[in-house]
Amino acid sequence: MTVTPSPPTAARRTPYSSPLRWLLPIMLVLFFLAILIWLPWQARQMESNERQEQLIADTLWVEQTIRFQLGRDEESLRGLGADIAAGRLPPEQAHERLARLLKNGHELLRVIWLRPDGKLAASSDPQAAPVELSAASQATMELTRKTRHPMYTQPEAQTPNQSAAPAAVLMDYHVPLFRGDEYIGDLVATYQTSALLEEMVPWWFAQDNQVSLIDRDDKVLARRAAAGPGHGVYTHKRALDLPGASITLVTDSVKSEPQLLPNLLVGSVIVLSLGLLWSLLALWGHISRRLEAEGALRQQMSFRTAMENSLVTGLRARDLEGRVTYVNPAFCQIVGYPAEEIVGLLPPMPYWAPEEMAEYQTRFASVLAGKVTPQFETIFQRPDGERVPVLIFEAPLVDKDGKQTGWMGSILDISDRKRIEELNRQQHEKLQASARLATMGEIASMLAHELNQPLAAISSYTTGALNVLGRAESSGATIDCGILKPALEQASAQAQRAGQIIRSVHEFVKKSEPQRQEIAIASLLDGIRALIELQARQAYVSFNASIPADLPPVRADRVMIEQVLLNLTRNAIEAMAHIPPQRRMLNVVAAYDAASAQVSVAVIDQGHGIQEDVAQRLFSPFFSTKAEGMGMGLNICRTAIEFHGGSLTYSANPQGGTIFTFVLPAVLAVAEQET
């Protein structure tokens, strides 16, 4: 750090001994005059803009309210027209529906149903005289018949735009009725434009604004002015956007332009005077706080130094060229070198392990290129040759101006964690071996029964062969090989069957290190098929496997995946113990998902299913629904699948029971990622 020397005392000039001491008061006076001119105008302008924006927002709300109510009426009329067209509403029953529609919509004057010849078929007022449509309404009726689309009639104002609106301006809404291609009439709803404003404009809005409806020629169709005419200062127009009719909602506020307050200037003078006094006090306070801040900064620097020296996490700072600029004592303790031997060095560093030198060079090149790995593991070497596994976090080092000046790294000694991981791995392997032995203990009785059958058959066949030999020897007759051959062949087949069972058990229970290799699901299932079928026959369960011939292989440890399959199938068989034998079906279905490049294997049973309270703890260690169970089967299965980069899930079987599915990355996917 370079320190700029202070100038001599005699040459120092304070701001208060130069002509600049007058600059601040003059600027304050000019600022005061500008405020006196600008502040009243700005306050008036802001109030005027606020009133105009409020009027626009309220007008938009009123327009949406009117359009929403008209939309509800349109939907009701179209629904009524659909019932009439479908023949579900004869004319004698239409009066009640029309009257109910009129009662619900106070803005409606009447609703009628006209036949194609223009005669009245039904009306909201059965006692009313026949209605004579205006020429514009008849034209709209003809247009809707041709276009088959509902449409409004353009209301006709009888007077130009003036202070008073016409007494009554009507607007019809026509809904054409078709039964197939046959035109069967028109539904006509008549609105009184003044009723639209009376029913749909809130009273609070009418108290502050004159609300009008005008046509395309700016003629007034209806007007509501509860508080008198508007002043024309704040106005806004909004089109109602009605099909067939051009109507605009116009609001004119009764408020006039805001007036300047007489005491505004006096208030400004007082506020600015107080501001000057406050600025002087603030300046004195600022100087005091600055002195206090400098003292606090020295304390913080001392505290920061003590904190960094007491950290167990190593800290290392490097500039943009990779030169070490700072290390704390914890980092020196990790690498075994003092700070003076490390600070200022450029790579290669003395604590780099020789076997990791290529990785160090690659990472250093990335740092120089501005690309850094936020988190990674590597190995450091101490002067005595001891290797130390470390976890490094790298982040940009930014100065007070936001400019990057280098890289900051946090280094953790993870030797203990590595030892714990290795211990966990060994314990997991022992647990898997124990689980395999426990599995074989459960099927030991079935295995004895299964081996008893081929051994008994072998004994029968060999006894028969010996009897044949004895009779031939006693009688002196010649032995017919054709008689002995079938018996010996059957004995050999039964011996091979027993041997296959013994080999399957031996391969399953023998302990070995995890070895990932490319294996086919079909081959994997064939390796334990004898054990699965053994349990299935004992429980009277029908077993079926569906493995596509073109299913890609997976890279996995054969013994671990075999254990997963055997545990899942055994659970499925046990889940079907209390259902009728004809429904005891166990299916193993494999498939390939090209989108995710994964192979899935589903074990499907039709058992009792999984209850909700059990499902929440299904994969928890030491949880089991069986009295003699250890509660580790599904937990081991999920751990084994996740060890291979896959996942194990379950779902309910629509036919009853449960579907356990595990997915593993296909070998094709692994090859593509490596390339």
Cβ atoms of 567 and 634 within 8 Å: the answer is yes
Residue 279 lies in a domain: no
Last residue of a domain, one of 465, 487, 511: 511
Looking at the 3D structure of the chain, how many domains does it have?
4
Last residue of a domain, one of 146, 175, 205: 205
Residue 502 lies in a domain: yes
* pLDDT at 577 (0 to 100): 85
- Kindly report the CATH number assigned to the domain that includes residue 620: 3.30.565.10
DSSP letter, residue 516: E
Collapsing DSSP to helix, strand or coil, 185 comes out as strand
Same domain, 112 and 80: yes
- Local confidence band at 2 (pLDDT 50, 70, 90 cut-offs): very low
Same domain, 75 and 117: yes
DSSP letter, residue 113: E
Phi, then psi, of 337 in degrees rounded to 5: -120, 145
End-to-end CA distance of the chain: 49
List the one residue out of 89, 247, 248 whose CA is nearest residue 177: 89
- Six token digits for residue 161: 């735009």
How far apart, in whole angstroms, are the C-alpha atoms of residue 434 and residue 635?
14
Residue 338 lies in a domain: yes
The larger pLDDT score, comparing residue 522 to residue 414, is at: 522
List the one residue out of 99, 147, 139 whose CA is nearest residue 118: 139
- Six token digits for residue 184: 């069967």
- Six token digits for residue 208: 């502050």
- Six token digits for residue 468: 């044949």
**Number of helices and strands in the chain (H, E):** 16, 21
Q: Hey, what's the torsion of the CAs at 141, 146, 151, 156, to 10 degrees?
A: -50
The larger pLDDT score, comparing residue 266 to residue 380, is at: 380
Taken as a whole, the chain contains a residue count of: 675
- Six token digits for residue 73: 């009426």
Beta-carbon contacts of 440 under 8 Å, excluding residues fewer than 6 positions away, are 447, 505, 508, 509
SS3 content of the chain, % helix, strand, coil (to 5): 50, 20, 30
Same domain, 486 and 525: no
Helix axes 633-643, 558-575, angle to 10 degrees: 140
Residue 302 lies in a domain: no
What share of the chain has pLDDT > 70, as a percent? 75
* pLDDT at 622 (0 to 100): 40
- Six token digits for residue 266: 């006096």
What share of the chain has pLDDT > 90, as a percent? 8
**Given a cut of 50, is residue 518 above it in pLDDT?**
yes
List the one residue out of 196, 189, 96 whose CA is nearest residue 141: 189
Same domain, 383 and 426: no
Collapsing DSSP to helix, strand or coil, 393 comes out as strand
| Range with lowest mean pLDDT among 68-82, 340-354, 495-509 | 495-509
Residue 229 lies in a domain: no
- pLDDT single digits (tens) 455-489: 766 776 677 677 767 777 777 767 667 666 766 77
Count of alpha carbons within 13 angstroms of residue 146, beta-carbon side: 5
Residue 243 lies in a domain: no
* pLDDT at 5 (0 to 100): 38
Collapsing DSSP to helix, strand or coil, 472 comes out as helix
How far apart, in whole angstroms, are the C-alpha atoms of residue 335 and residue 380?
7
How far apart, in whole angstroms, are the C-alpha atoms of residue 126 and residue 97?
12
DSSP letter, residue 349: P
List beta partners, residue 390: 378, 413
The H-or-E segment that residue 150 falls in is none
- pLDDT single digits (tens) 615-638: 655 665 443 455 444 334 677 788
Domain of 392 in residue numbering reads as 313-413
Residue 293 lies in a domain: no
Cβ atoms of 18 and 258 within 8 Å: the answer is no
The larger pLDDT score, comparing residue 218 to residue 477, is at: 218
Same domain, 524 and 635: yes
**Positive or negative CA dihedral for 97, 98, 99, 102?**
positive
Cβ atoms of 332 and 342 within 8 Å: the answer is yes
Q: How many of the other CB atoms lie within 10 Å of CB of 25?
A: 10
Cβ atoms of 44 and 258 within 8 Å: the answer is yes
How far apart, in whole angstroms, are the C-alpha atoms of residue 625 and residue 622?
10
Collapsing DSSP to helix, strand or coil, 591 comes out as strand
| Range with lowest mean pLDDT among 14-28, 392-406, 571-585 | 14-28
- Six token digits for residue 497: 């069957």
* pLDDT at 588 (0 to 100): 95
Mean pLDDT across the chain: 77
Same domain, 101 and 118: yes
List the one residue out of 197, 174, 168 whose CA is nearest residue 107: 197
- Kindly report the CATH number assigned to the domain that includes residue 480: 1.10.287
Same domain, 651 and 532: yes
List beta partners, residue 396: 407
* pLDDT at 428 (0 to 100): 66
Helix axes 415-442, 481-509, angle to 10 degrees: 150
Same domain, 384 and 441: no
- pLDDT single digits (tens) 139-197: 888 999 999 999 999 888 755 444 444 557 888 899 999 988 889 889 999 988 888 88
List the one residue out of 249, 250, 246 whose CA is nearest residue 217: 246
The larger pLDDT score, comparing residue 96 to residue 256, is at: 96
Same domain, 519 and 480: no
List the one residue out of 85, 73, 166 whose CA is nearest residue 124: 73
How far apart, in whole angstroms, are the C-alpha atoms of residue 28 and residue 34?
10
How far apart, in whole angstroms, are the C-alpha atoms of residue 98 and residue 88?
14
Q: Is the pTM of this model over 0.85?
A: no
* pLDDT at 330 (0 to 100): 85
Collapsing DSSP to helix, strand or coil, 246 comes out as coil
Same domain, 484 and 599: no
Same domain, 646 and 519: yes
How far apart, in whole angstroms, are the C-alpha atoms of residue 597 and residue 594?
5
Mean pLDDT for 359-379 is 80
Last residue of a domain, one of 177, 205, 233: 205
Residue 263 lies in a domain: no
- Kindly report the CATH number assigned to the domain that includes residue 394: 3.30.450.20
| Strand ranges (E), 328-386 | 375-381
- pLDDT single digits (tens) 405-463: 888 888 888 877 878 877 776 776 666 666 655 555 555 554 554 565 567 667 766 77
Cβ atoms of 186 and 144 within 8 Å: the answer is yes
| Strand ranges (E), 526-594 | 542-546, 554-557, 585-593
Same domain, 549 and 672: yes
Sheet holding 220-224, edge to edge: 220-224, 209-214, 248-253, 235-239
Q: How many of the other CB atoms lie within 10 Å of CB of 270?
A: 11
Burial class (CB in 10 A: 0-12, 13-18, 19+), 401: exposed
